[in-house]
Chains A and B, each alone.
Chain A
Amino acid sequence: MADTIETGETGKLRRRSVVRTLLRDRGGMLVIGGLGAPAWDITAAGDCPENLPLWGGMGGAAMMGLGLALAQPERRVLVITGDGEMLMGVGSLASIAVQRPKNLSIVVLDNEHYGETGMQETHTKHGVDLAGMAKAAGIPDTRLIRAAAEVQALREAIHAGNGPPLRPDQGG
């Protein structure tokens, strides 16, 4: 089934629509939503016991995913977080890359702003490339997603499980 991915007036991806698509027919996938809007995004896609929306621990979402993925190697684990949250824990991309957990994926919804605190710009607004940093850390499958057409392939990759951290640009 193909999903309709919504975009804003500027053509950027709508975060809620992207997350809804990624989590559709998720099976037993365990999902961690990072502090900020991603916590609401995963909840809006369907609240369930397999969701952990975070209200704190900024910088820790990806490592929580690692601990969970190592403990539950037979299940898919998906961390959906924001660019500010990921930047605070950016060293964890290196720690995760070294562990190579096949059942862990990290999706960064990169709106280039700190959304909870007044939409101040993050470093990604000024050229810092999170997907590039993940690739340089040694994570084997990294993608920068900007177009609605790419989201479906992203969903399939996450559900198949090769552990890609991603950076869908979207308009909030």
Chain B
Amino acid sequence: MQREQLETAPDGAADWPDQIFDLLKEHGIRQVALVPDAGHSRLINRCLADNGIRVVTLTTEEEGIAQLFGAWLGGEKGVLLMQSSGVGNCINMLSVAIAHRTPLPMIVTMRGDYGEFNPFQVPMGNATQTVLEAMGTLVKRADAPEDIAPTVDATLRMAFNTYRPTATLIGQRVIGAKTFGK
């Protein structure tokens, strides 16, 4: 069985990943930094196929905070895609975005959330929103497919209009709980 089939990924009929991609283009996003997550796989492929977007794969998510700060200094807008576990890797680097009033939108797919089976995912998944808010990030959740695009749109607008880190958390209830194919 393909690894991709073992991972949690949005239903093939779900169109919210395409709606997020359209929003990235609408907002003029030029740099997409990411550590892959199965929940973002369709969106990642759309970004890779677009000549106007530079996709930068990171070794750890905090690299993305630093990169997007540099991008903003250079006049380009970016977004960070990651799984909730990656939020924990970003904590101190978020101080850069706070100190420099940097627009820094993050789109986070949740693990350790609704129906999680993996005990290692639960602590960070349970703490994701609290930790981001403790570091000055405006956080909004989307727990239904129809809420995702409006929430991501709000996250992008709040970042670029108010100059700060913002995040949309896409609930595991939307993405589906990982099952390892069982």
Contact = CB atoms under 8 A, between A and B. Distances in A.
B99 interface: yes
Which of A55, A62, A64, A98 has the most B CB atoms < 10 Å from its CB?
A: A64
A4 interface: no
Task: State which size class the interface on A falls in.
Answer: 20 to 34
A98 B63 contact: no
Task: State which size class the interface on B falls in.
Answer: 20 to 34
Given A60-B96, A89-B63, A66 B58 contact: no
Contacts of B65: 57, 60
Contacts of A45: none
A70 B30 CA distance: 9
A64 B30 CA distance: 15
A72 B75 CA distance: 8
A119 interface: no
Contacts of A64: 66-67, 69-70, 73, 96
Given A56-B95, A63-B63, A71 B70 contact: yes
Contacts of B70: 32, 63-69, 71
Contacts of B74: 30, 67-72
B179 interface: no
Interface string A56-92: 1111111111111111100000000000000001011
B93 interface: yes
Nearest to A104: B70
Given A56-B96, A57-B93, A57-B95, A71 B59 contact: no
B96 A67 contact: no
Given A70-B76, A92-B63, A57 B96 contact: yes
Interface string B84-95: 000000001101
A98 B67 CA distance: 14
Contact of B99 (A56, A59, A63, A99): A56
Interface in B33-80: 54, 56-60, 62-76, 78
B85 to A, nearest CB: 16
Which of B56, B68, B75, B92 has the most A CB atoms < 10 Å from its CB?
A: B56
A94 B59 contact: yes
Contacts of B58: 91, 95
Interface of A: 30, 32, 52, 54-72, 89, 91-92, 94-95, 98-99
Ordered nearest first, which 9 A-B pairs have the shortest CB separation? A71-B74, A67-B70, A60-B66, A91-B59, A63-B66, A67-B71, A71-B76, A64-B70, A68-B70
7 contacts: A57-B66, A57-B96, A59-B62, A60-B65, A63-B67, A91-B63, A92-B63
